[in-house]
Amino acid sequence: MLLFVYMTGVHPIYKKYRSYKQQREDLVKKYNRLWRSRKDLLMHMDWAISRADPPRDIENMGNEVERIDRELNEIDEEIQLLDRNKLNPVPLKSLKTSQS
């Protein structure tokens, strides 16, 4: 009887919660990795400005920072969506592309 209650009630909810935690953890790791890359790129950009590198190179770095900012915003929105739908699975764009 106890096994039946576990399999029909607790187990499916537990599986959904573990899936939610894993997806959230993956998104947070990806967010932190991008944040560190952005921080390093800004440091390199400051260094390039101080060395008077060609403006084209600095502009390319600026474009890369903007791209990273867009990705960070997308991941943040997905984390918020995931948090709002903890037990209802939601397809996440950034996790699918990073696992492929």
Tokens of 84: 């709002």
**Contacts for 87 with CB less than 8 Å, ≥ 6 apart:** 13, 16, 17, 20
Is-above-0.75 flag for pTM? no
Amino acid at 92: L
- Domain boundaries, given as residue ranges, for the chain: 26-86
Confidence at 72, pLDDT banded by 50, 70, 90: very high
Handedness of CA 81, 86, 91, 94 (dihedral sign): positive
- Listed residue (64, 62, 68, 60) closest to 94, CA to CA: 68
Rounded to whole angstroms, the Cα distance separating 64 from 67 reads 5
pLDDT over 70 percentage in the chain: 76
The per-residue pLDDT for range 44-64, each reduced to its tens digit, is 999 999 999 899 999 999 999
